[in-house]
Structure 1
Amino acid sequence: MKPSPEPGDLRERALRLLARREHSRAELVRKLERAGFSREDIAPLLDAFETKNWLSDRRFADSYVADHRARAGSVKLAYDLRQRGVSDNIIESVLGDNRDSELDRAREVWQKKFGTAPADAAEKARQMRFLQSRGFTPEVIRRTISSGDERARDNG
């Protein structure tokens, strides 16, 4: 059985985690509880961190989206942020700021993976499933694949 951590260690552990990267409040709670700290001790500390702006779910969401948007669409990004305890209001706000570039990102992901228009219906379905697995919306997928078809016709 591992010994209980000292209360003074809580602040130091939380700051060490935040120094490495942004965390959502829920992530930090989970990690600190796993380290043996009690939720009753964690909550007031994280409240103080939020007051000092050392901890921010909005900043975490912005950072997460910036790091992952090149490989994922808004559906997947929203799901990932929800899993990390970020509120729907923050998710909507952060993803709303990035909505304009969704089609461009989907085209980049498609170009990197496939580069050529689908030769038949089976290939088109495969490409669509791939983009769907990356979290792009059906409308963005349709536009991405159809623009690939147009480019192929123009070059052919």
Structure 2
Amino acid sequence: MKPAPEPGELRERALRLLARREHSRCELARKLETAGFERAEIAVLLDEFETRNWLSDRRFAESWVADHRARAGSVKLAYDLRQRGVGDAIIEAVLSDNRDSEFERARAVWEKKFGSAPADAQEKARQMRFLQSRGFAAELIRRLVPDAGHD
């Protein structure tokens, strides 16, 4: 069993984690609990961090989407953000800013992986499954794959 962390370590550990990258409130709380800090103390500290704007789920979501949107569709991005404790209102707001470029992003992912139109139905299904696994919407995939060989 690990020894209990010192009381002053909580703030220091939280600031160190935030200095590396943005975190969602839920993600940061989980990491601090795992390190052995008390849930009540964590909540008070994170409330203070949010008040000072050092911690922001919105900023985390924007950062996450910016880092991952080239490889993933809105469905996957929304799922990943929910897994990290970001609320649906924030997810919808952040992803609505990126909806207009989703077709171009899907096309870029498709071209990098396949580069040519499917030769038969089996290949078409494989390409569609790949794009679906990357989190692109089924309607967008249907528009993209049959049109894949044309500019």
TM-score (norm 1): 0.95
Amino acid at match of 2:85: G
Alignment-derived partner of residue 42 in structure 2: 42
Map 1:8-27; keep pairs closer than 5 Å.
8-27=8-27
Counterpart in 2 of 1:107?
Answer: 107
Aligned to 2:83: 83
Partner of 1:154: none
Query: Going by fraction, where is helix more abundant, 1 or 2?
Result: 1
> How far apart are the structure 2 equivalents of 1:50 and 1:23?
12
Q: Which runs of 5+ in 2 are unaligned?
A: none
Aligned pair count? 151
Task: For 1:64 and 1:147, locate their aligned partners in 2 and report how far apart those are by CA, in whole Å.
Answer: 30
- Residue 80 of structure 1: CA displacement? 0.2
Amino acid at match of 2:23: H
Q: 1:54-93 CA deviation, whole Å, 9 max, x = no partner? A: 0000000000000000000000000000000000000000
Gaps of 5+ in 1: 152-156
Aligned-partner Cα distance in 1 for 2:150–2:104? 16
The DSSP-based 3-state class of the residue aligned with 2:63 is helix
Question: Which residue is 1:64 aligned to?
Answer: 64
Structure 2 Cα separation of the partners of residues 128 and 88 of structure 1: 27
Listed one character per residue, the Cα deviations across residues 21-58 of structure 1 (whole Å, up to 9, x for unaligned) are 00000000000000000101000100000000000000
Local SS of the residue matching 2:146 = helix
> How far, CA to CA, are the matches of 2:51 and 2:146 in structure 1?
48
Distance 1:133 1:98 in 2: 19
Q: Which runs of 4+ in 1 moved over 6 A?
A: none
- The TM-score normalised by the length of structure 2 is 0.98
d(CA) in 1 for partners of 2:37, 2:150 = 58
Deviation at 1:149, TM superposition (A): 3.6
| Matching residue's letter, 2:114 | F
2:132 aligns to what? 132
Query: Within 2, Cα distance between the matches of 1:150 and 1:16?
Result: 50
Report % sequence identity: 77
| CA distance in structure 1 between the aligned counterparts of 2:81 and 2:60, rounded to whole angstroms | 9
1:146 maps to 146
Task: Give 1:144 shift.
Answer: 1.3
Matched letter for residue 37 of structure 1: F
Offset at residue 147 of structure 1 (A): 2.1
| RMSD after superposition | 0.7
